[in-house]
Chain A
Amino acid sequence: MSTISISHLTKTYGPFVAVDDLCLEIPTGSVFGLLGPNGAGKTSTFKCMLGLANATSGEIRYDNMKLAPATFERIAYVPERSVLYDHLTVAEHFEMQRRAFANFDSARAGRLVGEFGVDPRKRARALSKGMKTATMVAMAFARTPDFLILDEPTSGLDPVNQRAVLNLIINEATRGCTIVFSSHQIGQVERAAERIAILQNGKLAVEGAVDDLKADRKIVEGILPVEDFPVDGYASDKRIARIDKQGRILRLTVVADPDAIASELGGAGAQGVRIVDLNLEDIFIGAVAPAASTADLVETAK
């Protein structure tokens, strides 16, 4: 089983805690989306996963093995920023990859960049940001790896090529490759990822299957009979992750039993009670933005 297992990963830079006791299990053949605001710890996590940074504590295992030279042959990485050499052509980069990695398929790399519309004779310095991303994606996928770690693999690409990258990810997953990717384009994660984690300040804020999170998390909102209606009781309610109250309008972010909570609210005299579906972007914002209320709540659902 190719499983990526991250246990109690902590990474500090001086007094700054970039990753704080992170635990994740990523099953074989799954596509895992890592989300978080800028500086949440995504790239630090990737660097520790790749041995590009030393974990302060905790460990990462691939197929129950620690990172070793033999493992690198099975992992491909697309970094957030270009690591291409300005003065080398795309074809010359492929030649370097071919010499470095036994499983690098030059023909496949050439086909992939062709599909993205990149001329392999061009030097990296002449490529746009999107074309650089496409070149790095082609180099990673041309190795038919067991593990793919993709840090913003669609940045700078047009919508058609973004879709092409997502389909490459889906195709690799169906052959059993285990993929972790981050993107600020939440709609892409919503499509391609089966499970996600949302990081905030280096900590795990939310984790789960995208479809389960959508099924369980709803907003229950209603208009309270009076402005000073007591809502403190909801603060200790395990089914409620977040309370936003502005004047008489109450919005509860619930993680279970939305129907029961809606009836309770209606029974308490609230008007216009309704249940609102949340997409991944709503779940993301709900997890990382502070609650607009007098009764601030910490995210309780883990």
Chain B
Amino acid sequence: MTTATAPRATSAPARVGVGERALAERRLGWMLCGPALAVMVGVTAYPLARAVWLSLYSYRITDPAGRHFVGLRNYGVVLTDHLWWSDVLTTVVITVVTVAVELVVGFAFASVMQRTLVGRRFIRTSILVPYGIITVVSAFAWRYAFALDTGFVNHVFGLGHFAWFGHRGSALFVIILAEIWKTTPFMSLLLLAGLAQVPRELLEAAEVDGATKAQRLFRVTLPNMRAAIMVALLFRTLDAYRIFDTVFVTTNGANGTETVSFLAYRQTITRTALGLGSAVSVLLFASVVLIAVVFVKGFGVDLARARGER
């Protein structure tokens, strides 16, 4: 921003021109940002406000005339329902396991990418493919791989006729596996950028001083890429918490695999209970905000700095 501020130091007679210039710059700034801001806020703020408003009503699309104000009763219904808490638990389990495994696997991928000299391009390509692939497609691949009829997993591993999607634990295992496969690339690329920031001299100095591999990893590498790790964790946690596509395709929420997003979808779109569904949506939004606040305030993730904005 140096160029923008530099002319301001000029003497008094020039100030009128500078003021006009600054004003023109301001106007141009808002003109350029206006459309983007309008689209971003228009499609999120208004519907969100409407979701909050709808959540205070008993309202089904199939019965518009029967819409009536119920206050916070929808929230009461959701929060006292066993299903809501079961879905929250499922979502939290998926989020925690997925992100934890991804952090380790993603770090391993990043280390491999950083060290590999031969075939770097090829490895980067193969890591990026899951990132670009449609989530629904990846979910189908995993579903068919584990399915009783079409699957090869039972066959190859000699598991007989084990119904992977018939039990909560094994169904969640497949869902988590599919999620990890699809989203580890994103994690590993953020970590690779973090790895590049670790000063080489520090690692060399540690090696000269006789530090073991583990010591160098835990005392030098990881502390120096803390910012990158935290940002990657924040983005992936928020993303994992919103899981929907994979659940829809693999189990359709059956056998205790329904997630919070899936519940919101089922209430609003499938059951067209917009009032109750909006209450679920607002609660989902609130929990995402809570996660973000915990990361930013609790763990001190400096997003502005981490995202390149000083």
* A joins B in a complex: no
